[in-house]
Amino acid sequence: MSSRNDQISQAALAECVRAEAAAFGIPGAAVGVWVDGREIHACHGVTDAGAADPVPVDRNTLFQLGSVTKTYTATALMRLVAEGRVELDAPVRRYVPELVLADERAAAEITVMQLLNHTAGLDWNVIADTGDGDDALAGFVAAMAELQLIAPPGARASYSQAGFNLAGRIIEKVTGLTYEQAVAELVLRPLGLSRTGFDAGDLPGGRTGNTAAGHDLNEDGTLSASRDWTEGPAGSSGALRRRAR
């Protein structure tokens, strides 16, 4: 009976994934659900819609995390909190003394916690190409001097990519490592996440292996695949180009 229920659940999930992918024009997806103590999966489509010989998506296909990278940033920072190396209520300048913002009072008052819960009063982001070197985050923080503030620290919630990139810089300053190295040491290796990384070229199989490409919707309705992506502390926001070193 259990096997029969598993098959029914698997079929229902597979049909749901297929229908949603068709409705939204998604070229490939892999979905896993934990329900009633069981793990079921459904995969659909291909990793690259424009490939001459498309690779089907399966349970082992690697996908870009995007803004879910913030979860890794927050986890790494909380590990430093647990170790007594960072205090959530401390001002950010305790760890990044070079921080300059358009509002000096805000720069002095913003706390680590406010970065994590998006109440620092920082605008969405700074669009600045700071390169792919180990100083990319430092360059980003320097560029924050031009960032608008939309509220006093702690006054309201407002989603901020810039805030999480600044949190990534705290991790660098406290650990003495690059953000990527620090997250690998604090999060990825302890969890055994050997197939998780910050640059597609550094992952198993590289950019052409079982790794899903990003896809852009063209004006004529067709899809164009892109494998030129990396992740920073806030995700693939376009503000940073980082490679693990």
Catalogue the active-site residues. Answer: 67
- Give the count of alpha carbons within 13 A of 89, CB side only: 0
Give Cβ neighbours of residue 151 (< 8 Å, ≥ 6 apart). Answer: 121, 158
Q: How far apart are CA 86 and CA 186, in angstroms?
A: 14
The DSSP output letter for 130 is: -
Give Cβ neighbours of residue 244 (< 8 Å, ≥ 6 apart). Answer: 178, 180, 181, 184, 197, 198, 199, 202
Q: How far apart are CA 210 and CA 51, in angstroms?
A: 13
Q: How far apart are CA 240 and CA 245, in angstroms?
A: 15
Residue type, 60: N
